Amino acid sequence: MSFIGGPVIKGLIDAYNAHLQAVTQDKTIAADLAGKEIAAQQLEIQADTQLKIAEIGHPWEPEKLAFYIVLVFFAKCVIWDTVLGLGTTPSLKGDVSMWAGLVMSFYFGKRTFENVARIIKR
């Protein structure tokens, strides 16, 4: 019985160890691939962020700062004065009104032309 049991059991144990090593190796490969996929996704997110910054720019660029100032004025006039009826703001006169109009026109017009140019470029 030991003659039959010894080699048979040893063979089964060896086969099971080989199976475990193969499964462990598969899991190691799967874990390595998952790690590489996560690293690739992080690089893709960073590339997307850099592309957005290149296309849109930073929020503190001079053209955007000028737009924010004019936007605050128009928001105050529309929301505070007109919608809520909580005050009045004197109208802009002279060069200041012209500059405010130009800032708004430039900002919205610039983005429109950039988008049209991007579409044509494709």
Total-model pTM: 0.42
Encoded amino acid at 67, one letter: F
Q: Each residue of 89-121: pLDDT tens digit? A: 777 788 888 888 888 888 778 778 888 888 888
Q: Note the maximum CA span of the chain.
A: 111
Provide the pLDDT for residue 4: 55
User: Residues 80-89: what's their mean pLDDT?
Assistant: 82
